[in-house]
Amino acid sequence: MMHAKILAAVLFLAPSALAADRTWQQCGGIGYKGVMTCDRGDICQYWNDYYSQCIPAPTTTTRRTTTTTKKSTTTTKTTTKVSVTTSSTTEVPVTTTSTTEVPVTTSTTTTEVPVTSTSSTTTSTTPTSTPALEDLELYHGNALSSGWENWSWSSTFDFTYAGPPTPPAGSGGSVIQVTTGGYGGVSFRNPKGYAGYKTLVFQVAGASAWGLVADSTTEPFTSGAVSLVDSCPTPPTADAFTTCYFDIAKLGDHAWDRVTFQSWSDKDQTTYLANLFFTTKTALELTDTKSFGSGAAFGSNTLLLIGTGDITDVTVTKGGEPVAIASSEIVENPSRRVYAKLASSWAPGVYTVTHSAGVITITIPAAVTGDLSSANGTRKISKWIYGTNFPASSGFLNTYGIPLGRWGGNAMTPYNPITKYINAANDWYFENRPADNGGFESWAKMVAAGHAKAVYSIPMLDWVAKPKDCWSYSVAKYGPQDKVDPYNADAGNGLQNGTRIVNDPNDCYVPWGPSNVTAYLSSLDAATASTIEFFTIGNELDIADGTHPDIQQEKMSYDNELARVKAYGQAIRAAIPTAKILGPTSCCFWFWWHSSVGETDQAAHGGLSKLRYLLRELRAYDEEVGKKTIDYLDVHFNPQEGRPGDGSAADNASRLRSSRAWWDPTYKDESYMGQDGVYAGEENPGSVYFIRRMKKLISEEYPGLGLAVTEWYNNNDLVGGLQIADGLGIFAREGLDVATKWANTDPGSAGAAAYWLYSGGYNSAKPFPDQYLNVPIFYDPDTAAVFFAKGESNTAGVFINKNPTEYQHYKVVGWKAGTYTIRHFGTPGVRSDQGALFEATITLDASSTVVVPPYSAVFLSQ
């Protein structure tokens, strides 16, 4: 018998503190899926693709901003006529006084489709779309039901819209038509609440890039956003209503009183809603069609079926011959699935799985063999490779088992740790504001509550923000400028016809230096100090003259950077002799090798590339002073800029190939990093092979240093999740020491699931063990990846299938028949399953083969 482990739902439960006062908090942006609702009276203001913010609705004028952390691109022209993208942090503007008119546009529908085409289904759902007496109506027949308040924002409504599409039965002939502006929300509150109701039933047509949020304004507590399509048996379309079921019961017992449909798009979306009501029936009771929507083969003899069907209705055949199902186990969370065990192992060939509502065809290829006993060595895996920047909450850290969170980014570079102010720098008109999260110390408490440790980026320019609302390039003081903050006409961008104004840093900053670092760190309380695992010497020092020209007016040269790394590294060391210090925290490919001064700087330093020069000098210096300035070389890297492109098959394949840039010297980079001329004389130009290249550089210039990547980025969609799973396995295999993925690893996404795949969540009994097992096994790194590790009592493998349509099959010699923990994401993830945390116990039979479905990542552990 299998024993299924019940997991928490995919839902991300934000800490209640977040719900208390949402004004100034982030409510949207590419990749953001934290809390997206705003308080009543606020609107969710779009600032840029990466950031939308709750601000008081128009007519209020206030001056404050909140943080964000997401890449924007700055193009740096160099004398070699190569243009390079450097990373920086996109920041946010302030307030508003304007009213946004939102035009009504034709709706566009994003329909997510299963990534495998082998399943056909004849299911038709018989939706429950009319309320019973005991149900709580929200909207029906032209009006909000009594007791409900409208808490919507950034949206335009027609509450008596009569179609098209044709209003569904029971609607009384009209529906709600709503056009949400960027991250707008359709939100309703009932002071009596809807605690005790298990499901919100609603009918929807039009845009589906929406999240659903249940809130309690009294507790206060918010569920965080749940994808709308996950609530719908079939994805909504533009031209017909679909009945959907928001599973409130799954969210736990709270004093729910508010529900929100939240646009996840920065674009206008038009959507239609009808027949909204809460019922005491569960979503499963309402939707149970007793059928399976999708399924896949796993492991040696496991057949996974997703849906509410009955396994006794399922038949499996191979070449016309029946294959018996020996046993099965149902797992209910986070959605119902059946792990059935075939009486015989999967073998190459075509299987036909027939269930009451359709047929699933599974084609198993020949197996590739790997023998665990022939592993030619082990390597200790650093647990610090599984970190992220700015984790969303302690709950996020616990759920995904992330052990390390980094505090750093452009706005944090001039962070004043005494008064807890920051400056938005070039990301937003050089404006000061209070630090997010109440400053580092309170943020560190959140990290500690998530059983994680912190990476603290220590300010290393000569100034930190003054504790006052202030901007570096006042128009009143410095005259008219090329651009000003649209919400603050006095805050300029510091450019006059393209020429940088020489400002007085005293306007908005106070002096800062190495002695301040030593004094501040010496004064840290014990709890904060014990949460810090690593320090970085600031953030992307090498582009400070671009990101912080108001306090770094000179171009950042080899000499300036080296002097700062020495001074600040030693200042940290003076306060905390055992500190683990990371530097120079170089921003990005071009600046690994060059300084912003240009080619002449390299020529003036023996023709050495910048990182090589810095390491060589640091080694000599450290020998002289007898203390290490840094313990780890810290370099930021985004394979192919971490981009999601156009979503085409070719784009997906190229993203999945780009993981080779972490390690493979034979992989010619497909981005601008593939050009030979940009490597400043370093060997094998055109290929990045990041970890191996940097380790070789360390061994040549400063043996003994570790290697850290405190920013790296992949998107969080399914392809991104597979890339991240691939990346983490490569970090383990290649012996990277520290890695924190760039911010916004959205809870509930495939990107976050990749972390969970390895960890199993905080304190899981079956994490990926810490001894890497180098098992010779052949696979094509463009389409697959396989990683093994062993611990004291178990051996685990991670198998990543980057092929969108075909199964992969391995024979793992040395794995014994018996029960195994399986975790997986991806196919057969029809919509909801792509970031779902699916864990169960399955049986591997004596042949110990492992079948991996298309576009999925599978973890198996004894």
Q: For binding to ligand NAG (CB under 6 A), which residues are involved?
A: 150, 152-153, 155, 157, 159, 376, 416, 418, 464, 480-482, 496-497, 510-512, 515-516, 647-649, 652, 717-719, 774, 776, 804
Instruction: Report the length, in residues, of the chain.
Output: 862
Which one, 83 or 99, has the nearer CB to ligand NAG? 99
Distance between CA atoms of residues 730 and 724, nearest Å:
10
Kindly state the smallest distance separating residue 712's Cβ from ligand NAG, in Å: 18
Distance between CA atoms of residues 312 and 78, nearest Å:
67
Distances (CA, A) of 303 to 43, 289, 300, 366: 47, 20, 9, 18
Kindly state the smallest distance separating residue 694's Cβ from ligand NAG, in Å: 19
Distance between CA atoms of residues 796 and 858, nearest Å:
10
Please give the distance of CA 646 from its chain centroid, rounded to a whole number: 19
Which one, 95 or 155, has the nearer CB to ligand NAG? 155
Residue reference for tokens 């070389």: 633
| Burial category of 801 from C-beta neighbours within 10 Å (exposed 0-12, middle 13-18, buried 19 and up) | buried
Supply the DSSP symbol for 29.
-
Kindly state the smallest distance separating residue 652's Cβ from ligand NAG, in Å: 4
Which one, 14 or 259, has the nearer CB to ligand NAG? 259
Which pair of tokens denotes residue 570?
Answer: 């030693």
Supply the DSSP symbol for 765.
S
Kindly state the smallest distance separating residue 1's Cβ from ligand NAG, in Å: 36
Kindly state the smallest distance separating residue 233's Cβ from ligand NAG, in Å: 19
Q: What is the torsion angle, in degrees rounded to the nearest 10, for the CA atoms of residue 679, residue 682, residue 684 and residue 689?
A: -80
Which one, 357 or 786, has the nearer CB to ligand NAG? 786
Distance between CA atoms of residues 340 and 32, nearest Å:
36
Residue (of 1, 29, 6) closest to 716 by Cα position: 29
Question: Got the DSSP string for 685-699?
Answer: TT---HHHHHHHHHH
Residue 431 and residue 470 in contact, taking contact as beta carbons nearer than 8 Å: yes
Which one, 390 or 855, has the nearer CB to ligand NAG? 855
Q: Which neighbouring-strand residues pair with 841?
A: 821
Longest distance between any two alpha carbons in the chain, whole Å: 85
Which one, 628 or 657, has the nearer CB to ligand NAG? 657
Residue 188 and residue 151 in contact, taking contact as beta carbons nearer than 8 Å: yes
Distance between CA atoms of residues 574 and 151, nearest Å:
54
> Nearest 5°: phi and psi at 597?
-70, -35
Which one, 245 or 787, has the nearer CB to ligand NAG? 787
Supply the DSSP symbol for 416.
B
Supply the DSSP symbol for 471.
B
Supply the DSSP symbol for 733.
H
Helix (H) or strand (E) holding 494: none
Which one, 602 or 744, has the nearer CB to ligand NAG? 744
Kindly state the smallest distance separating residue 155's Cβ from ligand NAG, in Å: 6
Which one, 145 or 150, has the nearer CB to ligand NAG? 150
Distance between CA atoms of residues 772 and 377, nearest Å:
8
Which pair of tokens denotes residue 849?
Answer: 């083969």
The bridge status of strand 453-458 relative to strand 432-434 is: unpaired
Which one, 371 or 623, has the nearer CB to ligand NAG? 371
Which pair of tokens denotes residue 549?
Answer: 């020209």
Kindly state the smallest distance separating residue 631's Cβ from ligand NAG, in Å: 25
| Sign for the pseudo-dihedral over CA of 570, 575, 578, 579 | negative
Distances (CA, A) of 427 to 507, 716, 759: 18, 23, 35
Answer left, alpha or beta for residue 290, where phi above 0 means left and psi between -120 and 50 means alpha. left
Distance between CA atoms of residues 143 and 165, nearest Å:
18
Burial 266-278 (b: 16+ CB within 10 A, else e): bebbbbbbbbbbb
Distance between CA atoms of residues 410 and 423, nearest Å:
8
